[in-house]
Amino acid sequence: MTEVNSQNKVRTFNTQYFMIGSMALLMVSLTLSPYFMSVAQFMMVFFWLCDIVNTSFDVQNKKTTSGILKNVFAFIGSCLVRMYKNLIIKIKQFVSNKPALIFTSAYFMHIVGMLWTNDFLNGLGDLRIKLPLLILPLIISTMTPLNKKQFHFLLIIYISAIFVNTLISTWVLFKTNVVDTRDISLFISHIRFSLNICLAVFILIYFVFKTGTLFNIPKTVLILLIAWFVIFLFMLKSLSGIVVFIVVAFILTIVKIREIKQIRIKHVLFSIVLAIPLLIIAYVFSVVKNYTTPEPLLADTLSTYTEMGNPYQHDTINLGIENGRYIGLYVSWDELEEAWNKVSEIDFNGLDKRGNKIAYTLIRYLNSKDLRKDASGVRQLSEKDITNVENGVANIIYLNRLNIKSKIFDAVMGYQRLKLHDDPNSNTFTQRIEHWRASIHVIRQHPLFGVGTGDVDYAIRNAYDELNSNLESRWRMNPHNQYFTIAIGFGLIGLAWYIIALVLPVFMLVKQNNYFLWILIAIVGISMFFDDTLNTQAGITFFTCFYFCFAYFNDY
């Protein structure tokens, strides 16, 4: 009997550690590699199907070629049979799991939306991007649950990947010639990156206040990480991410204060917390007022001629106000053109590297330096200044990479252009206004069931034409609002069900006071007002992966 047992061995292929490795790869790739984001999910599917494969090997037959082939085919056949049985078992488990099934109905809505779409190929592309809505719930809700140590390991991997990404982005910010700080996010959109940073901050906050710690990491280190991530979030200057962080932090603080039993302390803390948004609003108003309020102007004190004897134009209406000064004062267009063309290879009537008219960029830049818009002003520009103008920098304040004021200034300047000239092209703020206007136009035309899965792009671009929008073709994008995007595709009925499908499972789960899950929903739910968060691979994978990790591995 002993000899027989030594000749015939049963080997077990346990995929648990391979699955954890695949999930760790997914955690890393969420912010570092869209390619490996897909690879990790394919690996998860494979190991999920394999689960535990038992295969017998005949040692004696291994001595011949036919014996080796026999064992290989037996192994493959056994694996395929086991994978098929696993698939049937897991699908049955999934179908009986109502929270996961309801969540996944959001994906099936995209499939149903193919019935009335005209652009079938675009619809198939959307179904491919949205696959994590189907794959990740199916895998995570039916796999062997991770224990606390394994779950903490994944969180460490995730936070470490974000930390590495912030270091890379910081190097890019200070060591390369970056005009727009959003470009320092090399691997994924700066908005998606900012959402990952927000989630990492609130994960760390949880473990700072929790009894015990995360993998025995000193809480001082966790606090330092929180501080660094918040600082970097403002360095990134992603307004969506900053707004999400502030709003979620405010809501979380209010919830925690409500749990305090001492009434006086509770009232004092409430007063302090409620004062914070008021102070932020007051600060923004102060910045806007200083930016748009020029000093009193006395017409008889204005010079009428340049040093070269050419007449000045003084326009206080059409070009707006920036840095507390009228942009249109002291402008000599002919002189400015001649002087600029002598110092730059980009023609005065051409476009800067951001696609804007360089003449307009130049006079704004001169205005920000309090220089006159003539040959004398151009001569006072350094080579670095000229390069900045060519790169599309219209205000020297934009060069301060740590100053959030530049984002406020940019939005105000864009709004001025929109009001004065009906020009929404200046920046993302005014472009979004036009995106939303076109979105509402489409929703009014197809209020109940929308235009279908594949026709969102066509419908929104057609809306710009119907509205006679002044938005340039390169900026005619999708709504940049996930709620509008869903309503365009599936109508208001579809939007209502989509929200139910994503939120209802939280209430159906046993542990409803799930800190991480509610934080995730708050982060993504708020971000969806400013961006198509779920319309990209990075966004949909980020949301779905953590949604089910937090829902099913909730032993923190």
Nearest one of 214, 137, 197 to 163, comparing CA atoms: 197
Instruction: Give CA 232 to chain center in angstroms.
Output: 15
State the pTM of this model: 0.84
For residue 65, the model assigns a pLDDT of 57
Residue 58 has pLDDT above 60, yes or no: no
For residue 56, the model assigns a pLDDT of 46
For residue 82, the model assigns a pLDDT of 74
Q: Whole-angstrom Cα distance, residue 405 to residue 83? A: 57
H helix runs in 399-514, sequence order:
405-421, 428-445, 456-466, 482-508
Q: What's phi and psi for 144, nearest 5 deg?
A: -65, 120
pLDDT 10s digits, 497-520: 999 999 999 888 765 678 899 999
> When comparing pLDDT for 485 and 325, which is higher?
485
Nearest one of 556, 555, 554, 549 to 141, comparing CA atoms: 549
**Residue 136 C-beta-side C-alpha neighbours within 13 Å:** 28
CA torsion through residues 525, 529, 535, 541, sign: negative
User: What is the token pair recorded at 282?
Assistant: 């007051």
pLDDT 10s digits, 435-451: 999 999 999 999 999 99
pLDDT 10s digits, 129-140: 999 999 999 999
Residues 6+ positions from 148 with CB-CB distance below 8 Å: 555, 556
From residue 281, how far is each of 196, 269, 414 by CA, in Å? 26, 19, 19
From residue 255, how far is each of 203, 284, 508, 519 by CA, in Å? 16, 26, 21, 12
In degrees to the nearest 10, what's the CA dihedral of 319, 320, 321, 325?
40
Residue 1 has pLDDT above 50, yes or no: no
Q: What is the CA radius of gyration of the chain?
A: 29
Residues 6+ positions from 77 with CB-CB distance below 8 Å: none
Q: Whole-angstrom Cα distance, residue 531 to residue 429? A: 12
Query: Would you kindly state where each structural domain of the chain is located, as residue ranges?
Result: 2-96, 140-289+433-552, 299-399
* Mean predicted confidence (pLDDT) in 345-367: 89
Percent of the chain with pLDDT over 90: 44
Residues 6+ positions from 64 with CB-CB distance below 8 Å: none
Nearest one of 475, 474, 438, 480 to 459, comparing CA atoms: 438
Q: Whole-angstrom Cα distance, residue 353 to residue 349? A: 13
pLDDT 10s digits, 259-290: 888 888 878 888 888 888 888 888 888 888 88
pLDDT 10s digits, 105-116: 999 999 999 999
Please state which of the ranges 3-12, 45-54, 208-217, 436-445 shows the lowest mean pLDDT. Answer: 3-12
For residue 416, the model assigns a pLDDT of 80
Highest mean pLDDT among 28-32, 93-97, 256-260, 552-556: 28-32
